[in-house]
Structure 1
Amino acid sequence: MSKLLKDYLAKSLQDKKDRGLYNEIQILDGANGPMIQIEGQELVNLSSNNYLGLATDDRLIKASQTAADQYGVGAGAVRTINGTQRIHQELEEAIAKFKGTEAAIAFQSGFNCNMGAISAVMDKNDAILSDELNHASIIDGCRLSGAKIIRIKHSDMADLRAKAKEASESGLYNKIMYITDGVFSMDGDVAKLPEIVEIAKEFDLITYVDDAHGSGVMGQGAGTVKHFGLAKEIDFQIGTLSKAIGVVGGYVAGSKDLIDWLKVAARPFLFSTSLTPSDAAAAKEAITIMTQSTELNEKLWQNAAYLKEKLAALGFNTGHSETPITPVIVGDENLTQKFTKRLYEEGVYAKSIVFPTVPLGTGRLRNMPTAAHTQAMLDQAVDAYEKVGRELGII
């Protein structure tokens, strides 16, 4: 190894550890369900994005196995050559119907969606208004496009209107887009989509909503855009197939012309092998389940309300989440890491979230109750939180 590289890595890794910013990666010995096994220890799992418990649902497993038997374990090519199998088309049709749009396109990940969709439409002659707390994949997608990036204060509609007006009246840009998460993943708050749509109409903004944490959660499962009844007003609906859907991949839903354009211009779609047929089939099955019944969605919200109430009653700072995402905000990064380790020792897996995922000084444990948790599991977690919170002087 190069000495320069060796020295750089050693110094950088030690700096992360000293500042409480180094996260260790644990290896699960089984499925990522409401309870998980790590090195022989069983823990209540509060760190999964598996909102509806579908990642371990027998119906999805069966659909995946059946597709593997029919189509093989891999698609074998990029979508534009001969990697589009019938199951990919069926998945996209199901997504479009689910989201209330004319069409949809599936990508290999939600990150790929933002890398591909933004740069396929926006370029150096354009401007992107972007909420300051948008996901890292949005930030990277904006950078890749070459467009002028204008940061908007988080969910600040006055700031959005002022900067949209300034950008529009400047005459410098061919197109202007506003991008926001539907549900913000670290705080659990929801974008002000009705107000955003009004401002977008006033200044002819392209609207782009990344609903990774809203799909399967908001709008009885159909997402944040559906929650507000704005499917016909939002140009891009982005989602993931790896959270509430329980599988892997991502999608963009919108007009037929938009999807047709992405199929010929979005680079991750053009230059990456398709989703495996098993993943496509399992994701399609998840959407079928969510369409036929809201039972899992209702259970998710019941569990979330229960956990929030219990943690807040103990005196923890749970922020202002409007969704099942339940942060316990500690602040100091080293204390946050210590809290996570002690909870682990008490049988609860609640992963620490620190900079750069959240701003410095806002370290937290992000709790993700799911439809698969029982009340007994949540009670076990709350008991551990109380014991360790008092021990560390957090409550």
Structure 2
Amino acid sequence: MSCSPKIMDLGLLKFEHIKEIDELCDEWVPESLIPPLTEEMQREPPMLESAAGPHAIINGKEVVNFASANYLGLIGHEKLLESCSSALEKYGVGSCGPRGFYGTIDVHLDCEARIAKFLGTPDSILYSYGLSTVFSAIPAFCKRGDIIVVDEGVHWGIQNGLHLSRSTIVYFKHNDMESLRSTLEKITAENKRAKKLRRYIVVEAVYQNSGQIAPLDEIIRLKEKYRFRVLLDESNSFGALGSSGRGLTEYYGVPIEKIDIVTAAMGHALATEGGFCTGSARVIDHQRLSSSAYVFSASLPPYLASAAITAIDVLEENPDLIKKLKENIARLWKGLSDIPGLSIASNAESPIVFLKLEKSTGSIKNDLTLLEEIADRVLKEDSVFVVASKRSTLDKCRLAVGIRLFVSAGHSESDLQKASGSLKRVAAQVLKS
């Protein structure tokens, strides 16, 4: 029985269609699971081979280290090492369990009480990792529908917390109080329900991405006028600002109870790890039940909590550490005040000295290339370790990139002179060409 011409045509069409699909499959090249390696990705970063103190070993060579936020110079301090050793002998390395299950050890409670006593707050709560402190605290209090007004220059940890909160995020210009005022005014005027919503202002005491100090007195005035709460990240000010290192509130003479939520990482001035949040008993109790990094993460190793207690003791017993830090900041500022092609963007009393290009190339990538060349040559030629403020693809900070120097009370006058002299010479050569 012969097939009709119509059926034969349909069969031919089907055959041609299958043939075309086969050819397309043969030609198809699947997209790589990972992006191709660029020259930048293959660049080997400097390798640290010692503790990250004022002097460190990088790639087998001793260097002056301005890349670590060791503000009080406590890394490697004898009392901290003794405290860690004693805690290791007594507790081991920790329970590896969350605080609410079987991870709470007496030294955690002692550390929380010590921080609260030092800052003059009712209570505090410890976190196991510095960065997770703020990006866990934010979504613990801020939910979908809430309004968060935030400085455009905040670091990635805060950005991540904002994303996790699913709140309505409104940015204001970096450290610009007129921009903050107009933003709060607009939100209050446009949203008739605003008074019924939870509303927050989120700022850093010392901005990691610029070295600027937040004008807390003005922030408090605006907070009270427009009825917002304030979350303040003191990671780079705790132990570094104020006459006794109690941070931005002491620096401005503002009662700490005017700040609703204070967070800080302990890996900077205290030379340990972990973080804390401090405030009213209600603020702290709420986090013990609803903050993901506290509820689900293994508790802070007890030797690190012990080191934090000892670091605060050392700070209180040695007020000259704060004085020496301030003197070192002033010396470095003076040495870098006329650096060719670069300008200081940070506050004169900030422990972060931030250098940015006087004339941008118009491209963040090209700006970074210039800054990294300066940093590389300073390390190679003069054994001074500084870093450019390189950001990940997830970091949405809108500020200019720069070279960031973390000043330490452990730096000597010759260290500061060496750094400023080297940066001046290399910047003049690189930016001139």
Question: TM-score normalised by the shorter chain: which range applies?
Answer: over 0.9
Residue 355 of structure 2 corresponds to residue 319 of structure 1: no
CA pair 214-24 structure 1, distance change in 2 beyond 3 A: farther
Q: 1:227 to 1:25 in 2, by over 3 A?
A: same
| TM-score for both structures, normalised by structure 2 | 0.84
Shift of 1:275: 0.5
Structure 2 counterpart of 1:335: 370
Matches of 1:129 and 1:236 in 2, distance apart? 15
Output aligned runs, 1:142-161, within 5 Å: 142-161=162-181
Whether the aligned pair in 2 keeps the contact of 1:186 and 1:325 (CA below 8 Å) is no
Query: Following TM superposition, by how much is the alpha carbon of 1:358 offset from its aligned partner in structure 2, in angstroms?
Result: 8.6
Count of residues in Structure 1 that have an aligned counterpart in Structure 2:
387
Where do residues 201-240 of structure 1 align in structure 2 (5 Å cutoff)? 201-220=224-243, 221-228=245-252, 229-240=254-265
The change in CA–CA distance for 1:130 and 1:340 in structure 2 (over 3 A counts) is same
What secondary structure does 2:283 align onto? helix
Contact 1:305 1:324 in 2 (8 A): no
Gap runs ≥5 in structure 2: 1-28, 361-366
Q: Distance in 2 between matches of 1:262 and 1:179?
A: 17
1:333–1:361 contact (8 Å) kept in structure 2: no
What pairs with 1:137-286 in structure 2 (closer than 5 Å)? 137-169=157-189, 170-173=191-194, 174-220=197-243, 221-228=245-252, 229-286=254-311
- For residues 360 and 350 of structure 1, what CA distance do their matches in structure 2 show? 22
CA distance in 1, matches of 2:172, 2:297: 32
* 8 A contact 1:168–1:176 mirrored in 2: no
Task: Give secondary structure in 1 for the equivalent of 2:343.
Answer: coil
Post-superposition shift, 1:89?
0.3
Structure of greater Rg? 2
* 1:9 paired to 2:35: yes
**Are the equivalent residues in 2 in contact too, given 1:45–1:349 (CA < 8 A)?**
yes
Rounded Cα–Cα distance in structure 2 between residues aligned with 1:206 and 1:302 = 35
Letter in 2 for 1:362: A
Tell me, in whole angstroms, the C-alpha distance in 1 between the residues paired with 2:313 and 2:296. 29
Superposition deviation, residue 110 in structure 1: 2.7
Identity %: 27
Aligned 8 A contact 1:239 1:250 in 2: yes
Distance change (3 Å), C-alpha of 1:114 and 1:3: farther
Tell whether the 8 Å contact from 1:215 to 1:223 is kept in structure 2 after alignment: yes
**Structure-2 separation of matches of 1:344 and 1:252:** 37
Q: Does the Cα contact within 8 Å between 1:214 and 1:223 map onto a contact in 2?
A: yes
Q: Which runs of 5 or more structure 1 residues have no equivalent in the other structure? A: none
Distance 1:231 1:195 in 2: 15
CA RMSD of aligned residues (A): 2.1
Secondary structure class of the residue paired with 1:9: coil
The one-letter code matched in structure 2 to 1:328 is: L
Q: C-alpha separation between the residues in 2 aligned to 1:180 and 1:245?
A: 21
Q: Given the two structures, how large is their TM-score scaled by the length of structure 1?
A: 0.92
* CA–CA distance in structure 1, aligned partners of residues 213 and 266 of structure 2: 20
- Which amino acid in the other structure matches residue 132 of structure 1? E
Secondary structure of 2:344 counterpart? coil
Give a deviation string over 1:235-256, Cα, whole Å, max 9, x none. Answer: 0111110001111111101001
For residue 54 of structure 1, give the secondary structure of its aligned residue in structure 2. coil
- In structure 2, which of residues 100, 125, 136 is the aligned counterpart of residue 80 of structure 1? 100
AA paired with 1:269? Y
Find out whether 1:353 has 2:380 as its counterpart: no
Write the letter of the residue equivalent to 1:227.
Answer: Y
- The amino acid across from 1:246 in the alignment is A
Following TM superposition, by how much is the alpha carbon of 1:188 offset from its aligned partner in structure 2, in angstroms?
1.4
Q: CA 1:237–1:224 in structure 2 vs 1: closer, same or farther (change >3 Å)?
A: same
> SS at 1:4's partner residue?
coil
Give the Å deviation of 1:22.
8.1
Please state how far the C-alpha of 1:5 moved relative to its aligned partner. Answer: 3.7
> Which of residues 65, 70, 74 in structure 2 aligns to 1:54?
74
